[in-house]
Amino acid sequence: MGERALSAGPPQAHRAPPRGAGAQQPGVSTPIAALALRGVTCTFVSRDNRSQRYTAVEDVTLHVAPGEFVSVVGPTGCGKSTLLNVGAGLLESSAGQVHVFGQPLLGINRRAGYMFQTEALMPWRTARANVMAGLEFRGETDAGAQADEWLKRVGLGGFGDRYPHQLSGGMRKRTSLAQTLVLDPDIILMDEPFSALDIQTRQLMENEVLELWAAKKKAVLFITHDLDEAIAMSDRVIVLSAGPAAHPMGEFVIDLPRPRDVAEVRVTPRFVDLHKAIWDVLRDEVLKGYAQQRLVA
């Protein structure tokens, strides 16, 4: 990450690697990625009519280095959650491979923590019991103490005994964050974690996530449709095309200095340059995605 973060000059747009590329070249040593998707294609088959197929993503190659914060942006419905599900091992791709720290992924990715796009707290459990759940599943004996520690870290020290319906939307997201991070995953997968929040709460949480990330430097694959958020948080932003057969259209190194305050960094000239360069690629895809959804509706 270091060398990328220091690069200067005009925003660097890298075309995505050629489709199907990604295999290591002989004689070229590349560091092992925390998470690598190579040539991933996902085709969904209609349950009612087996002859009806929809290829959401096609031949997607992307990687996240250990300690790197990578965002994927793309129009709604293009296949962002699908890719994250493949990386989590929740969805088997129709073609391609997934490697986790150099090992082929078979089944659930046990080195990853997943913060889902939809609310995933168990309504019958308190915030504390929700945070404890994964640790209990692992059979850890100090689950309660660890949950209390993480609830404090996300600013919910006094709210552990509340049920999800007794928490605000921001508090529920904080609980989900604690639930994910308490397991100390090497890879963190986040699917539009703050999209339902008001802008102030959202920026506070983005800064909190950056602080937590800076302390532990885990590999993060972050999905968002919000380009500002992607640039403010990331080391690298990958732009996905509109579907069907969505694929990376471009890859941008975000060389803004860290630590960052997400509100302050947005008004810097470099941020504005990066935003313009990425939006030039993303704009047409967003329009295509929007047009397709109107056709289906």
Ligand X SMILES: Nc1ncnc2c1ncn2[C@@H]1O[C@H](COP(=O)(O)OP(=O)(O)OP(=O)(O)O)[C@@H](O)[C@H]1O
Strands 248-253 and 236-240: antiparallel
Binding residues for Mg ion, rule CB under 5 A, total: 2
Q: Closer CB to Mg ion, residue 83 or residue 129?
A: 83
The string of DSSP letters for 5-66 reads HH--SS--EEPPPPTT--SPPTT---PPPSEEEEEEEEEEE-SS-TT-EEEEEEEEEEEE-T
* 3-class state of residue 236 by DSSP: strand
Residue 195 as a binder of Mg ion (CB under 5 A): the answer is: no
Q: Amino acid identity of 26?
A: P
In angstroms, what is the minimal distance from the CB of 75 to ligand X?
7
Range in contact with ligand X (rule: CB under 6 A) among 27-35, 61-69, 79-87, 171-179:
79-87
Secondary structure E strands in the chain: 13-14, 35-45, 53-64, 69-73, 95-100, 103-104, 112-115, 187-191, 219-224, 236-240, 248-253
By the 10 Å C-beta count (0-12 exposed, 13-18 middle, 19+ buried), 109 is classed as buried
Residue of 78, 86, 237, 254 that binds ligand X (CB under 6 A): 78
Q: Closer CB to Mg ion, residue 55 or residue 117?
A: 117
113 binds, among Mg ion, ligand X, none (CB under 5 to 8 A by kind): none
Q: What are 240's strand-pairing partners?
A: 248
In angstroms, what is the minimal distance from the CB of 156 to ligand X?
26
* Whole-angstrom distance, CA of residue 266 vs CA of residue 204: 14
Q: What are 219's strand-pairing partners?
A: 187
Q: Per CB under 6 A, which of residues 99..128 are in contact with ligand X?
A: 117
Residue of 14, 54, 264, 276 that binds ligand X (CB under 6 A): 54
* Whole-angstrom distance, CA of residue 93 vs CA of residue 83: 9
Q: Per CB under 6 A, which of residues 12..51 are in contact with ligand X?
A: 44
Residue 243 as a binder of ligand X (CB under 6 A): the answer is: yes
Q: Which is nearest to 64 in space by CA: 97, 103, 37, 93?
A: 37
Q: Closer CB to Mg ion, residue 40 or residue 167?
A: 40
* Whole-angstrom distance, CA of residue 123 vs CA of residue 133: 12
> Contact letters (x/-) for Mg ion, 75-114, by CB under 5 A?
------x---------------------------------
63 binds, among ligand X, Mg ion, none (CB under 5 to 8 A by kind): none
* Whole-angstrom distance, CA of residue 278 vs CA of residue 286: 12
Residue 80 as a binder of ligand X (CB under 6 A): the answer is: yes
Range in contact with ligand X (rule: CB under 6 A) among 72-80, 178-186, 254-262, 279-287:
72-80
243 binds, among ligand X, Mg ion, none (CB under 5 to 8 A by kind): ligand X
Binding site for ligand X (CB under 6 A): 44, 54, 56, 74, 76-82, 117, 225, 243
Question: Which stretches of the chain bind Mg ion, using CB under 5 A?
Answer: 81, 117
